[in-house]
Every structure is written in structure tokens, then in C-alpha cells.
Homo-oligomer: A and B are copies of this chain.
């Protein structure tokens, strides 16, 4: 049936329960998508500067064709033999360091991180995990403990195994060579050891997207990787958000940051919205995990998922989307820097490729976060047909990560509109 917005909200409360997130003060009701565009139920068009899941564009024809072809041919599970999963893992791991040669496909990034943490326990025999205090890695009982800002009130006491370090903040607490972050992690490793938990793994998004994408030079993670390895722990890089060329300079953000993870987790953009995620890891690590446990995932790695995921890799390659991210990202950065010259409220400009943002502050000297202002900007942009969000420790950083076919013309529309909105929105609360 076709509901009005008030009816949709009432039915959500009735059928889905309380506390189900929506975006914007006036939630949007989308009915159609194509490329970087979305249309609402009234036929209004929006430029999508937010959604990273439709990585190669909403309703990408190549992915759609792959899904429909395979779903009309066969969809079973990995207990039968099939070329699809092997072709995909071969191609995927072929883009990575040779040590990451073994793959396991899951259905969600949560499931990928859930087995990554168990791989760390299997290899180290220990359970102590470290993450930043402004991250997100998924929603299972175990993995949800990684999100300090939204740890569930229930979770079978698993919080005992998690310790947090301050999220990197290049604007307020510069740490240009990453040694400060490494020292903070070393401190929490020692705390895990002192508590008897022992240290199993550090889990990070190598580009720290949830943390507000701090400006770090390439290679910034090297010192912390050294600390982690010296302590006998695993480095788990969660590239659910930073992977598949998002940063424009590399296919994987861990390459940019100068490290090779022991376990790499992948998700959201992997099949453009079709549900497939997974892990790539060293064969010995997968072996340690699988020897003690015959892990099987009914839908994980099914032929349709693999066809959709393969189409995404092919599309990234054929359309040169990483290079596009670099070019358009460089242009976006220039436009953001120009806006910073004009608007006092922009304290800092950040990003690489098609993940970029600007931190909003009430005062450039004190760097006081302009969090409610950022909220007003996002809602005003939505009413002007531009979809994006906010992130970071203070929720005052614009979160802009459009589908990868985003063009310079798209970026100009985004920043022309942002310029107007920043001019018209009062900064004072």
C-alpha cells in the first residue's frame, strides 16, 4: 500500500517498535534510485551524497543484470560446489597483499567482524580487544561491544573484554606520525594484560570514518601495527566503509595507511546493497579458526551474492571508479577549502577521494563543536534536495560519501547548495 509520511511513521512505531532510527527531522520517503540520484514519493529528486552501500550507483545495470541472471539460474549454498565463490575470492584477494589469500563470506559486516574477533581468540588464546571510543563495527552481541557510543544495555557481559582509546583527532589533538595513537593502544594492551584478559586484537577502520576521518599522512598506522604485533595481537582492519576504492588513492585504505592487516573485514559496498560481506585473512588464521569450528553460513557466498559482488569489482575496474574518486575528491577538497575561506564556521576540511567532510565549529580559536548547527545544515540541505549526514566524536563533521560514479558537476551542485545553506543558517544556537 501507499502511505503518507505520518502514516509511515505511525505504522513504523506500531509494527517495528520504539527507537527505530530515521534520518532528518522530516524523514524522507524514497521510492526510486538511479546512479547518484534518489526520488521521493512526490517525485522530487535528491542528489545522494550519503549512501556508500550503492557503491557503483543506485540500480547499477551491471549489478542488476548479474543478480537477475544468477537468481534466475541457481541460488544454493556452499555445501555444493560452485565456481562463483571461487572466482570471486580469487579476484578479491588478488587485489590484496599475498598474505591475505583466504576468504570467508558472510551476510553482514557484523558477521564478518564477529568471526574476525573469534579468529583473534583462536590465534592468540586471549580475548582482550581494543577499539577507538567513537567507532562502529556492527550489531551482534559480541561486535556491538565495539561501539562505545551505543553499547547495548544487554550483551551477556561481553563488555569485560573491550577497552577503548581516544579516537584520533587531527584537528584538536594532532598526532602527525601516529606514535601518540600507538602509545595509547600500548597502554590499553598493558591494561588488558594486567587485568588477566590478555590482548587479542586491535580493530580499526584504517581511515577512521566513524571517528570523523582525521587528516593523517599515508603510513600513519605503521607505529600502532608494530605495537600490536610486538604484543602478539592481531591487527583487524574493518574496511566495510573505507574499502573498494573509496579513498581514491588505493583500493584498500590499509594500503594507504602503510599496513597489512592480519584480518580484513569487508561489507556494505561489496555487492552494491545485495547482502554479502566477508573476511580476507592469512590462511593460518582462517585455519586456526576453522579447525576448532565447522563454520557454515547458509546464505554466505551463495551464487547470487557472488555474482553481484563480482559485478561490483568489474564495474569499479571498467569505469575506473577509483581514479574518478581521486579526481572528484581533489575537486571537492578545493571547493571545501574555498568554502572554509568564506565561512568562519568551517574549522577544518578533511577527506580523501569520495569520503570527505568539514568540521563545524562555533569559534576557530576554541574549536568548540557546532553540533546543533551541523544538524540544522543537514536538515536544510535535505530540504534543498541534497542528502548527507554527520559524523565524528562531536557529530559536527559533515559526512559526505556518495556513490562512486559521483561527478565534478554533482560535486559543484553539492557545494553551491552548501554555500547557500551555510550563508543562510544562523550559527548561534
* Cross-chain contact A18 with B79 (CB below 8 angstroms): no
Interface contact B3-A33, CB-CB below 8 Å:
no
| Residue from B1, B54, B102 in contact with A15 in the complex, judged by beta carbons closer than 8 Å | B102
In the complex, A117 has a CB within 8 A of chain B: yes
Measured in the bound complex, the distance between the Cα atoms of B28 and A294 in whole Å is 19
Residues in B neighbouring A110, C-beta threshold 8 A:
111, 297
In the bound assembly, the distance between CA atoms of A233 and B164 in angstroms comes to 34
How many chain A residues touch B (CB < 8 A): the figure is: 106
User: Which parts of A1-32 form the interface with B (CB within 8 Å)?
Assistant: 1-3, 5, 8-9, 11-12, 14-23, 27-32
Asked if A291 lies at the interface with its beta carbon under 8 angstroms from chain B, I say: yes
- A103 near B141 with CB under 8 A, answer no
Q: Does A68 contact B (CB under 8 A)?
A: yes
Checking B22, B142, B154 against A156 with a beta-carbon cut-off of 8 angstroms, the contacting residue is B142
Assess A15 versus B268: contact at CB under 8 Å? Given A58-B75, A74-B59, A142-B140. no
Question: Does any Cβ of B come within 8 Å of A36's Cβ?
Answer: no
| B107, A74: Cβ atoms closer than 8 Å | no
In contact, A108 and B15 (Cβ under 8 angstroms): no
A23 to B77 Cα, complex, angstroms: 11
Q: Give, as a whole number of angstroms, the nearest-CB distance from A305 to chain B.
A: 7
A283 within 8 A of B: yes
Does A250 interact with chain B (Cβ within 8 Å)?
Answer: no
| B-chain residues with CB within 8 Å of residue A296 when the two chains form the complex | 21, 139
A58 to chain B, nearest CB (A): 7
On whether A89 and B16 interact (CB within 8 A), knowing A68-B64, A108-B297, A111-B111, the answer reads yes
Q: Which residues of B contact A58 (CB under 8 A)?
A: 74-75
Chain A residues numbered 262-308 whose CB sits less than 8 Å from any CB in chain B: 267-268, 273-276, 283, 286-287, 289-299, 302, 304-305
Interface 1/0 per residue, A112-127 and B, CB below 8 Å: 0010011001100001
| A396 CA to B175 CA, complexed, in Å | 62
Contact A23 B79 (CB under 8 A): yes
Assess the B59–A21 pair: CB atoms within 8 A: no
- Taking CB atoms, residues of chain B closer than 8 Å to A304 are 273-274
CA distance A11 to B81 in the complex (A): 10
Q: Are the C-beta atoms of A33 and B83 separated by less than 8 Å?
A: no
The residue from B12, B77, B118, B140 contacting A152, defined by CB atoms under 8 A apart: B118
Determine the chain B residues whose CB is within 8 A of the CB of A21 once the complex forms.
Answer: 78-79, 294, 296
Beta-carbon contact of A15 and B86 below 8 Å: yes
- Give chain B nearest CB distance to A307 CB in angstroms: 12
**A275/B305 in contact, CB under 8 A:** yes
A102 to B12, CA, bound (A): 10
A90 in contact (CB, < 8 A): yes
In angstroms, Cα B300 to Cα A330, docked, is: 34
Q: Considering the chains assembled together, what is the distance between the CA atoms of A79 and B58 in angstroms?
A: 16
A366 within 8 A of B: no
| B76–A67 touching, CB < 8 Å | no
On whether the beta carbons of B30 and A76 are closer than 8 Å, the reply is: yes
Pull 13 A–B residue pairs with CB atoms less than 8 Å apart, ordered by A: A16-B78, A20-B78, A21-B294, A21-B296, A29-B81, A31-B73, A33-B74, A58-B75, A67-B71, A108-B297, A111-B140, A150-B293, A274-B275
Apart from the given pairs A67-B71, A275-B275, 6 other A-B contacts in the complex at a CB distance below 8 Å: A16-B104, A18-B290, A20-B290, A108-B298, A122-B154, A153-B292
